[in-house]
Structure 1
Amino acid sequence: MKRIGSVPYLNSVPLTCGIEDETEFIVPSALAEQLRSGNLDAALVSVTEVLLNEGYEILDGVAIASNGPVASVFLAHRQPLEAIETIHCDTASLTSVNLLRVLLAERGLRPTLEPLPDYQQAANLENVLLIGNPGIDFLRAPHDHTVWDLGEAWRDLTNLPFVYAVWALRRGQHDATLRDKLHTAKTQGLDRLTETIATHPSFDESFRQAYLGGHIQYDLAEAEKAGLAKFVELLKTYGDQPVIEPVFV
């Protein structure tokens, strides 16, 4: 049985380099369920999974983050933000829904967040939160929405990077061998980033260059941890459940 999980999105490719055959690829919400149930020992999950549930530690030094526009986490809206009453949210999303909630709450806005019925309906809805490859597909197709990039909005609000996903390790179920394997995957993935940009089948090379070579960052260092601490603070302010302080290993 595979004991490592990740997401089937372009932004995760550099972090699973060399361990693809050992990894289950599942959308974020289902991936979190697999980790929570004990079917996985480590998973590249939405950071909210770690902040809202007990029993995890975070692999230090590795994340999916952005320091400004992220290009794959956004609110597409036809109405002005202040007039929005309902937003349909990608059901694969965990962190993005909470990020959207705190960004809007900081503006004094609390619209109703509803599940997105399916991706095919996204272009027909007034206001929709999309993430990952389906979000990128939406942006690259014709649409008449205004796009509010949540990475850019977070940077404007806090002047800090935002951490979307981390390697969550089940407490008591990981060791140095597993941690080293995940660190090595990142090192190899970044060493091969030019090759991935040139050859990966997702989207086109110019987009992959802008996205993997610019928008997405893979470090979890002091700036990213400061951004994460700010997110924890805002979740405590605007959320409706206890928030757990992250532990790095």
Structure 2
Amino acid sequence: MILTVFHESLRMQEGFQFVVPQYTIDFKDISGGHLLTMIVGLHCRLLKECESMRTDVIGRVSFANCDPLFHGLDSKWKVLPAPPSWLTGHLLRGECLIAPIPMADLARNADTLCAIDSIGIASDGGVGSVLLFGDCPVEEMRDIAVPTDSSTSRTLLPWLLSERGFRPRLIEMGPNLESMLERCDGALLIGDRAIHHAHLQPKLVRMDLGDEWLDITEMPMVFGVFCARQDADTTAVSRAISDLESALSRFENEPMFRQEVIAKSAKVTRFSVDRMETYFGSEVRNRLTPKDRTSMQRFATEVCGLEGEVPWWAGNQSDPVNRRNAAS
């Protein structure tokens, strides 16, 4: 396994090497358990560094799908990389100012968090990185292994299958395709791992959850959305949003900047530049639209059972969330 930690990203890949900006250590002779301890230790160290500057900390998903937002981000920001479901806890505990969290987690914490409607992780159909794998067709799957690192995909998959009349048993497992398929008929993977295995074993891909959501709802799918606590500092949140949107605008409008992002993503993930060009060009996107907002409400209501509307961050005192901020 390889853990690559840059100032703005954290990735898990094949191999045995631990890389941080200051040094590189080989772990070829260290067991997986000890390596996991090292990984958790590094994560705790990053958290400790962030504790005294929580209004200057932005969380990010430790996959390639956030790269356009964070490339060249001002050094005044401390970036906390983590799996999607971990970010929810960091945000709830105030360990970061804003972070892209699973849509399902926003729905479950709608009384505490609010969504930023301009940036997230979305697709207009196939996303390429939220995939169901299996040796048999979906309708023949008796059980499916689901990963523990994203709550949106774990919540969305059974809803999609039930809409087709399928109700396989879901079993939570670590995101290792081989062990998942040894135990279950199907396996759900997200992020860079999904892209990696789809490239190596394309015949095992049975469903792209973004495609399936589009087929059923005729809407885009928002897998993750940047959120803030409802009691967060309005000025700090607005500043963070502005800086992330600025990076995204450069990615969308400056060809040289775009190529820098794609080249760096390809290097870190070890995917080809062409694959990352396709990923950012026609699969995943970070700019949210009004149609995404409608889709998010439908997902929160129908899939997650949220009663009422998704809470939105508006950054002004006319918004109900921000009126509560002012009152407090």
One of 191, 199, 204 as aligned partner of 1:132: 191
Residue 303 of structure 2 aligns to a residue in which SS?
A: helix
Distance change (3 Å), C-alpha of 1:82 and 1:43: same
Deviates more, 1:191-200 or 1:39-48: 191-200
Q: What residue identity is the alignment partner of 2:299?
A: F
Q: Which runs of 5+ in 2 are unaligned?
A: 1-49, 251-256, 314-328
Residue 179 of structure 2 aligns to a residue in which SS?
A: helix
* Length-normalised TM-score, structure 2: 0.69
Q: What residue identity is the alignment partner of 2:161?
A: L
1:12 and 2:66 matched: yes
Listed as ranges, the matches of 1:209-228 within 5 Å are 209-228=277-296
CA contact (8 A) 1:46 1:94 kept: yes
Deviation of 1:49 (Å): 1.0
Match of 2:11 in 1: none
Deviation of 1:244 (Å): 5.9
Distance change (3 Å), C-alpha of 1:171 and 1:25: same
Match of 2:166 in 1: 109
CA contact (8 A) 1:16 1:185 kept: yes
1:195 and 2:260 matched: yes
1:24 and 2:24 matched: no
Distance change (3 Å), C-alpha of 1:103 and 1:190: same
Match of 1:235 in 2: 303
Q: What residue identity is the alignment partner of 2:118?
A: G
Distance 1:11 1:151 in 2: 14
Q: Which runs of 5+ in 1 are unaligned?
A: none
Q: What residue identity is the alignment partner of 2:142?
A: E
Match of 1:75 in 2: 132
Deviates more, 1:227-236 or 1:61-70: 227-236
Match of 2:141 in 1: 84
Distance 2:148 2:161 in 1: 19
Distance change (3 Å), C-alpha of 1:168 and 1:19: farther
CA contact (8 A) 1:235 1:243 kept: no
1:43 and 2:102 matched: no
Deviates more, 1:31-40 or 1:206-215: 31-40
Distance 2:302 2:135 in 1: 27
Q: What per-residue deviation string (whole Å, max 9, x for no partner) do you get for residues 57-84 of structure 1?
A: 1112111100011000011122322222
Structure of greater Rg: 2
Match of 1:61 in 2: 118
Distance change (3 Å), C-alpha of 1:155 and 1:40: same
Q: How many residues align?
A: 245
1:100 and 2:157 matched: yes
CA contact (8 A) 2:60 2:81 kept: yes
One of 121, 124, 127 as aligned partner of 2:179: 121
Q: What residue identity is the alignment partner of 1:225?
A: R
* Length-normalised TM-score, structure 1: 0.90
Distance 2:284 2:203 in 1: 26
CA contact (8 A) 2:143 2:168 kept: yes
Distance change (3 Å), C-alpha of 1:150 and 1:141: same
Among all aligned residue pairs of Structure 1 and Structure 2, give the percentage whose two residues are the same amino acid. Answer: 26
Distance change (3 Å), C-alpha of 1:244 and 1:19: farther
CA contact (8 A) 2:158 2:167 kept: yes
Deviation of 1:143 (Å): 6.1
Distance 2:281 2:219 in 1: 19
CA contact (8 A) 1:155 1:161 kept: yes
CA contact (8 A) 1:68 1:215 kept: yes
Deviation of 1:19 (Å): 4.9
Distance 2:230 2:133 in 1: 38
Deviation of 1:158 (Å): 1.1
Residue 287 of structure 2 aligns to a residue in which SS?
A: strand
Q: What residue identity is the alignment partner of 2:216?
A: L
